[in-house]
Chain A
């Protein structure tokens, strides 16, 4: 009995997330969200949770995570088209391919400090983008994107409407739980130590590079899973999936929400997609400008994002 309570206590945020996420189809339309957007939010929740493990815990700012998202999306698309319309083998192969690519890129980019890392990840993602546009055009469809996939199937269930929402939400809850486990594990401790003082960590005889690479690959695997699920959600792959806009969006989501909290970036993802698809109706073409300004204000005045705002408010109320 006590064990169970402990499990619930430790994973309170996972249960709250599950509750909010699973009831989404009931309350989301009430605030103007259309059906399908909730699924997309779940996909990006997976993406940003993994991204936060890298940015929030080790402090490494990647501007190229679109590469893993996009590579997995293309692989999933090609698998659905050429192998089977069952999503399970497609997702597994996509995540494996993308993760292998991330090992190579990680080995190359993590040779240097944070600044180099940001620039180089951006460059590699752009490399994949231009490759998809030019030399791999016959597979990726170039400018037009990859289309013509069959309806994705989970064995005999058609991945449409509610089915796809609950499937992706289930995966999102699971991945959030895994991220929470990583956060509490010895690896999570190492991640925080890298952010805190990498040199000091190395003096204690620990191979920091190993943990940096591990974190990078884990976050890439999350991005890959999100990329694969994106195609399950909507059987189309555009070249924008690999572009710097996509990487930038993930960065903005994570920072607005509050990095290093896991919950914050998911909040940021939900906010940004809601903003982009619902609130943007009133703003028209200038929605990205407004979002850019919000982003700047957050970076300048509230580096902890929404989560910092929440804890500041909490502190104010408990003091009074």
Chain B
């Protein structure tokens, strides 16, 4: 057993939270789209890819402030366009067709970005206010000695918490959210009640894409900016959605943090850390096939 001091434990928890933040942000969009539209979006990683490349370009050209506002906005428009232009024709087709077409789209987006920006990693300059480190021992008196953490990674955690809170507030405190939640339960009934569900589906897709945009702006410096990142993040994010329960937002948050923690706590052992995510997936599937917080009757 390794020696577990208060400091080490604190750092592991923090790192786990930070790793989980990215998964949560990407899985949130995935599960939102899946829960409402029933579409498994294999192109979600590609949307994240678009976001980080846009963020780098806008950040270099106009500064971080513009990137922060423009990237999620552009991603929202892109998501809406994608839903109107492509996904809506696939609602009545088999799920495999939806997976195939979004997979094709993911390849096309990835290759276009590779064409424009090259296959290599592009440096993402963090704005000056986000650079540097934070003296954690000044904030948390129980830590012994000198403990520091990169500032940007803490900002990422805070942004994730705010995003999750905003999505929950939108879904649980507004009428729009009420309709969306009703749509997740029973879209057919909602249409009988005269609600134009298609327009809302379109907005939900845009929202999922917007969250990927937020993830790209803040996650880009942490996950690197290269064409492989999209697919690389998509697999663990899918697992987060599966572990949390397909279509369950709180499940995605819980599972995202769980996976982040698991990776952080096994980081000292390369053999264990490469398979821990899959190990957890297998255990969860065996014990709770529906996922941790999966609702009964959702795509059984």
Interface residues of A (CB under 8 A from B): 55, 59, 61, 108, 111-116, 118-120, 122-124, 126-127, 130-131, 133-135, 244, 248, 251-252, 255, 285-286, 288-289, 291-293, 295-296, 299-300, 303
Q: Which 3 A-B pairs have the closest CB atoms?
A: A292-B107, A289-B111, A296-B104
The CA-CA distance from A255 to B114 in the complex, in Å, is 24
Whether a CB of chain A sits under 8 angstroms from the CB of B197 is: no
Evaluate whether A120 and B235 lie within 8 angstroms (CB atoms) in the complex, with A135-B274, A289-B115 already known: no
Q: Which of A61, A126, A299 contacts B104 (CB 8 A)?
A: A299
Q: Which of A108, A248, A296 neighbours the largest number of chain B CB atoms within 10 Å of its CB?
A: A296
The CA-CA distance from A35 to B241 in the complex, in Å, is 46
Q: Contact flags (1/0) for B265-300 with A, using CB distance below 8 Å?
A: 000001100110110011001100100000000011
Nearest B-chain residue to A60, judged by Cβ: B96
The CA-CA distance from A55 to B94 in the complex, in Å, is 13
Whether a CB of chain A sits under 8 angstroms from the CB of B99 is: yes
Q: Are B101 and A296 in contact (CB under 8 A)?
A: yes
Q: Contact flags (1/0) for B82-121 with A, using CB distance below 8 Å?
A: 0000100100011111011101110110011011000000
Nearest B-chain residue to A245, judged by Cβ: B231
Interface residues of B (CB under 8 A from A): 40, 86, 89, 93-97, 99-101, 103-105, 107-108, 111-112, 114-115, 231, 235, 238-239, 241-242, 246, 270-271, 274-275, 277-278, 281-282, 285-286, 289, 299-300
Q: Are B96 and A131 in contact (CB under 8 A)?
A: no
Q: Are B96 and A59 in contact (CB under 8 A)?
A: yes
Q: What A residues does B281 contact at CB under 8 A? A: 120, 123
Evaluate whether A123 and B271 lie within 8 angstroms (CB atoms) in the complex, with A285-B115, A299-B104 already known: no
Q: Which of B97, B104, B300 neighbours the largest number of chain A CB atoms within 10 Å of its CB?
A: B104
Q: Are B271 and A135 in contact (CB under 8 A)?
A: yes
The CA-CA distance from A124 to B275 in the complex, in Å, is 10
Q: Are B238 and A108 in contact (CB under 8 A)?
A: no
Q: Are A135 and B100 in contact (CB under 8 A)?
A: no
Q: What A residues does B86 contact at CB under 8 A? A: 300
Evaluate whether A255 and B107 lie within 8 angstroms (CB atoms) in the complex, with A120-B242, A126-B235 already known: no
Q: What B residues does A131 contact at CB under 8 A? A: 274-275
**Closest approach, in angstroms, between the C-beta of A149 and any C-beta of chain B?**
26
Q: What B residues does A133 contact at CB under 8 A? A: 274
Q: Are B107 and A119 in contact (CB under 8 A)?
A: no
Q: Are A288 and B107 in contact (CB under 8 A)?
A: yes
Q: Which of B107, B111, B238, B300 contacts A123 (CB 8 A)?
A: B238
Nearest B-chain residue to A124, judged by Cβ: B278
Nearest A-chain residue to B242, judged by Cβ: A119
